[in-house]
Amino acid sequence: MAERTATVSRNTLETQITVAVNIDGTGKFRAETGVPFLEHMMEQISRHGLIDLEIDAKGDNHIDDHHTVEDIGITLGQAFKEAVGDRKGITRYGYAYCPLDEALSRVVVDFSGRPGLDMKVEFTRASIGKLDTQLFWEFFQGFVNHAGVTLHIDNLKGFNAHHQAETIFKAFGRALRQALEFDPRAAGTMPSTKGCL
């Protein structure tokens, strides 16, 4: 079985980002982004998805974190698309419910080849630390557009914004792990009646 790894760089006038992923990893994580809470969330993806993940990002954080967060989502999506390859033999669909104290979130992902995001989250605070909670939508929009996945995110309950975010990212990691596992009964076959994704 070929290694499902990728390293992708994105360089713009606003950000310089390199992301390395190993889908079949053990949850090793390293990040330097200048956005500490986002790094905490990226580690949830890595640990709960058993995905090795390295992120190096420099951005115009002196303005705000918008470009850095969005472009990390874009670059991560590109890396996943490259690492997954032709998608033959994968489970394709993944879902997870994750709680953290009073908060509970559900994430459902489809490696369909078609980008789509439906995100229903009402954060109870406008920011967590210095990170604007609106930027989570930008992160996931960037990811789905460039990974070619359909993603549904629902925060079902919670009043602590940190807990809301953490349940989302933990569930996202678990859903990715499930969707990208190989289905032994479908070895080498495309998980679609179309014959392609």
Residue 166 belongs to a domain: yes
For residue 191, is it within any domain? no
Q: Which domain holds residue 143?
A: 5-186
Structure tokens at 1: 């079985």
For the segment 55-105, what is each residue's pLDDT rounded down to a tens digit?
A: 999 999 999 999 999 999 999 999 999 999 999 999 999 999 999 999 999
**CA 171 to mean position of chain CA atoms:** 10
CA–CA dist 122, 141 (Å, integer) = 17
- Residue 20 covered by a domain: yes
Quick one: pLDDT band at residue 191, thresholds 50, 70, 90?
confident
**Chain Cα centroid distance, residue 86:** 19
Q: Determine, yes or no, domain membership for 161.
A: yes
Strand 93-100 to 29-32 pairing: unpaired
Q: What is the pLDDT of residue 167?
A: 98
Name the band, by pLDDT with cuts 50, 70 and 90, for residue 1: low
Residues 112-128 have pLDDT tens digits of 999 999 999 999 999 99
| DSSP character string of 72-88 | HHHHHHHHHHHHHTT-T
| Residue 55 included in any domain | yes
Half-sphere exposure for 102 (CA within 13 Å, toward CB): 6
Helix pair angle (66-84, 135-147), 10° resolution: 30
User: How many domains does the chain fold into?
Assistant: 1
The pairing of beta strand 103-110 with beta strand 150-157: antiparallel
Does residue 195 belong to any structural domain of this protein? no
* Domain membership flag for residue 92: yes
Please give the model's pTM, rounded to 2 decimal places: 0.96
Q: Any idea what the CATH number is for the domain that residue 100 is in?
A: 3.30.230.40
CB 79 within 8 A of CB 6: yes
In-domain check, residue 122: yes
List all residues 6 or more positions away from 85 whose beta carbon is below 8 Å from its beta carbon: 2, 4
Is residue 97 a contact partner of residue 166, using CB atoms and an 8 Å limit? no
Closest to 21 measured CA to CA, from 69, 61, 59, 72: 72
